[in-house]
Amino acid sequence: MASLHGKSIVLGISGGIAAYKSAELTRLLAKAGAEVRVCMTQGAQAFMTPLTLQALSGNPVHTSLLDPAAEAGMGHIELARWADLILIAPASADLLARLSSGMADDLLSTLCLASAAPLALAPAMNQQMWKHAATQANIRTLQARAALILGPAQGEQACGDVGPGRMLEPAELLAAVEAHFSPSQPLQGVQVLVTAGPTREALDPVRFLSNRSSGKMGYAVAAAAHALGARVTLVSGPVSLAVPAGVEYVAVESAQQMLEAARTHAGMADMFIATAAVADYTPETTADHKIKKSSDTLTLVLTRTTDILATLRAEQPELFCVGFAAETQNLLEYARDKLRRKRIHMIAANLVADGRAFDQDHNALEVVWADGATTLPEMSKQALARALMTLVVAQFGRWKASREART
Ligand code: CTP
């Protein structure tokens, strides 16, 4: 059966040179079985005629909020209720700004406001406009309201610039829409162990050494792995986050406790994702009683903790291991070095200088594996975790296939 059979999709088109690709997108959506109703902004009509899209979708094209004839057909509220998904491609910088501020000054923005349907946006604009703080803030606002942001892609632009801002290709957008309606579960049957959060290394009964990790990234990774069908065990240091639904949870405090819990659960695991900011050093001794201030200086003697990731990797050759690296400089160089030293399969590196990453809701990652690397640009940690897991699933699949080929 056609993959989108029975799905009602409003395809919004805003003004931009990428609007010419929306004709092909309309054709692909209709071919996949979807009922498509196109809604064009005034700007879009400067790039593409409604007649073309009417022919391709087989339905009248909606262009105006205040058109009595159109309202007598399928009115805008009816259209907003009809949609299973509103996909806007291309989504211009102007449209993103209007949507993020909740405006309803034309038909498309009104539809978005009047609809409870999920919203998917395929941004397309000049790379400088995409990078502008205003656009990035709008994207974050829309993501926080659960809009699905598809792209943009990097590359050469119509204006001659090179950078992020190209609309994804129609086939890529079709694949994203198909995935939206039938989320695949490529990790079904796979057991994933995730470590997250900071550890606390006790100095005495009331004091400890710790770090700024909030656990947000690790919890988002656990949720993303679960959404892909994995059985997930989350071994977490102390954080103030809700445990993701459906995830097995093990609370620990110290690096030693995290090691022991991870070891216990790694036996059953196929994959280990080490997001925890484990203390590298712990006090040589923990005082039984509160340390009193008796001198002007206090010297602490610290000893190295066990590297959980490297240990489990060495103990369990069958475990696919993904590490994290937090660096303040030379991000890629240090990440590649860590990948080799710990002999792990993938590493996700982020810059933590100047208040970035730790305890923030957004982050960006450089993801590196033996024969490849990719940049995941700044986005919410939830979106980042999903994007990271897509890469992890791909590399895990390759790794499994090459192991099976060897045996
Ligand atoms: N890690 C671990 N156990 C430790 C320390 C780190 O499992 N005792 C894991 C982290 O969860 C993360 C990765 O190893 O996935 C981080 O590597 P690490 O070399 O410890 O990073 P840094 O502390 O940044 O190392 P360096 O001081 O070498 O920069």
- Mutate which of 307, 313, 339 for ligand 1 pocket (most atoms within 8 A of beta carbon): 307
**CA-nearest residue, atom 27 of ligand 1:** 280
Which atom of ligand 1 sits closest to the CA of residue 338? 19
CATH number of the structural domain 191-289+296-406: 3.40.50.10300
The tens digit of pLDDT for each residue in 314-329 reads: 999 999 999 999 888 8
pTM of the full structure: 0.66
Give which of 293, 342, 298 is closest to 322, Cα–Cα: 342
Q: Are strands 119-123 and 372-380 parallel, antiparallel or unpaired?
A: unpaired
- Asked, colleague to colleague, whether 8-181 and 191-289+296-406 share their fold, the answer is yes
Name the band, by pLDDT with cuts 50, 70 and 90, for residue 356. low
SS3 349: strand
pLDDT value for 319: 97
Region of 183 (left: φ > 0; alpha: ψ -120 to 50; beta: rest) is beta
Task: Using the atom order of ligand 1, give the atom closest to the CA of residue 306.
Answer: 8
Task: Give the whole-number percent of the chain exceeding pLDDT 70.
Answer: 98
Question: Residues 267-285: what's their mean pLDDT?
Answer: 97
pLDDT single digits (tens) 139-165: 988 877 878 888 888 788 888 888 889
Spell out the domain ranges in the chain: 8-181, 191-289+296-406
Work out the average pLDDT over 205-224: 95
- What is the CA(160)–ligand 1 centre distance, in A? 42
Residue 268 Cα, ligand 1 centroid: separation in angstroms? 23
Atom 21, ligand 1: which residue's CA is nearest?
A: 325
- Give 375's pLDDT tier (boundaries 50, 70, 90): confident
Give 68 or 387, the one with higher predicted confidence.
387
Among 202, 350, 159, 220, CA closest to 290: 202
For domain 8-181, give its CATH number from 3.10.20.90, 3.40.50.1950, 3.40.50.2300, 3.60.20.30.
3.40.50.1950
Burial class (CB in 10 A: 0-12, 13-18, 19+), 353: exposed
